């Protein structure tokens, strides 16, 4: 088994069918195959790419930048350098985001113990 209907793909990728269509429309998904009656047929490769997109989205990358990354990905090995740069930049932002979350979480926890949280009261 290596080809998937839109609904299977939605389930496996975690994106809704509407989002899959939207992503194809704006160019995040390229060359999605169609069967004889015009329906989308997703491959394992497509699922792999969707996994990458999901990773980028969930770490807060804006669609516009994912689009940039997609364009680079279409450019073949020549764009490895640029893709590397883009991901490293993003990785730094993710790192900063985690740091911020941790710092703010500390404040929340201290507020919790102020209100008499676990092992407080």
Partner DNA sequence: ATTCCACCTGGAGTGCGCTCCAGGTCAACC
Partner DNA sequence: GGTTGACCTGGAGCGCACTCCAGGTGGAAT
List contacts with DNA (CB under 7 A): 5-8, 16-19, 21-22, 25, 36-40, 57, 62-64
* Exposure class string for 77-107: b at 16+ Cβ within 10 A, else e: eebeeeeeebeeebeeebeeeeeeeeeeeee
Q: At its nearest, how many Å lie between DNA and the CB of residue 72? A: 17
Residue 34, beta-bridge partner list: 40
Of 12-20, 31-39, 41-49, 100-108, the segment contacting a copy of itself by CB under 8 A is 100-108
- Report the residue from 14, 36, 108, 119 that binds a copy of itself according to the rule CB under 8 A: 108
CA distance 50 to 37: 24
Q: At its nearest, how many Å lie between a copy of itself and the CB of residue 37? A: 35
The site partner of 101 among a copy of itself, DNA, none (C-beta below 5 to 8 Å per kind) is a copy of itself
How many C-alpha atoms does 110 have within 13 Å on its Cβ side?
5
Q: Does 105 bind a copy of itself (CB under 8 A)?
A: yes
Q: Does 87 bind a copy of itself (CB under 8 A)?
A: yes
- Report the residue from 35, 59, 62, 74 that binds a copy of itself according to the rule CB under 8 A: 59
């Amino acid at each position: 088994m290596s080809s998937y209907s839109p609904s299977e793909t939605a389930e496996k990728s975690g994106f809704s069918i509407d989002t899959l269509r939207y992503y194809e429309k704006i160019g995040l998904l390229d060359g999605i195959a169609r069967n004889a009656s015009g329906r989308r047929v997703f491959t394992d490769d497509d699922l792999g790419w969707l996994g990458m997109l999901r990773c980028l989205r969930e770490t807060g990358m804006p669609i516009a930048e994912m689009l940039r990354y997609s364009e680079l990905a279409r450019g073949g090995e020549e764009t490895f350098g640029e893709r590397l740069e883009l991901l490293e930049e993003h990785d730094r932002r993710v790192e900063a985001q985690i740091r911020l979350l941790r710092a703010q979480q500390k404040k929340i926890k201290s507020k919790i113990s102020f209100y008499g949280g676990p092992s407080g009261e």
